[in-house]
Amino acid sequence: MEIIDLITPESVIGALRATSKKQALQDLAEKASGITGQHERAIFDVLMERERLGTTGVGNGIAIPHGKLPSLDRLYGVFARLEEPVDFQSIDDQPVDLVFLLLAPESAGADHLKALARVSRLLRDKAACEKLRGTDSADALYALLTDLAENRAA
């Protein structure tokens, strides 16, 4: 499962305005709803339930919220660069400005974990994150994400 299999240019948000973790997740659920055809509320509820289990703020300004929905046909990703960092109750207590949402079908099994690992590896790269933080153009972010992921795979 490659990054290019998870996102499209339409699933990248260049400058998301959110003042809280909840608002960021609501806005991401809205975007994901348009891409997946799933109900926005169902996506939001899955994301909030996952957050109740433990934060998806993994540190260094990055969050990878994720969840499973029974009626999805494949894995989907939504990437957002936040205009201003928000508190995500991250493991390092740092606010988050880069968010990669991952949604999977209930039946995804190991593919869900592989996709999470792939996204995590990409966003652990400090140089890659600096490049992502350097633009608020959705098209440029999509190109960066796919280029960075391709170069890491090579």
By residue range, what is the domain housing residue 138?
3-153
- At residue 149, does pLDDT exceed 80? no
CATH code assigned at 140: 3.40.930.10
127 phi and psi, to 5 degrees? -65, -40
User: pTM (2 decimals)?
Assistant: 0.94
Provide the strand spans (E) within the chain.
12-16, 57-59, 62-63, 66-69, 76-86, 96-105
Question: Can you say whether the dihedral through the CA atoms of 108, 113, 114, 116 is positive or negative?
Answer: positive
Confidence of residue 108 (pLDDT cuts 50, 70, 90): confident
13-22 per-position pLDDT tens digit: 999 999 999 9
121-135 per-position pLDDT tens digit: 999 999 999 999 999
Domain count, the chain: 1
Confidence of residue 68 (pLDDT cuts 50, 70, 90): very high
Using CA atoms, how far apart are residues 70 and 148, in angstroms rounded to an integer? 31
Catalytic residue numbers? 66
Is 77 in contact with 102 (CB distance < 8 Å)? yes
DSSP 19: S
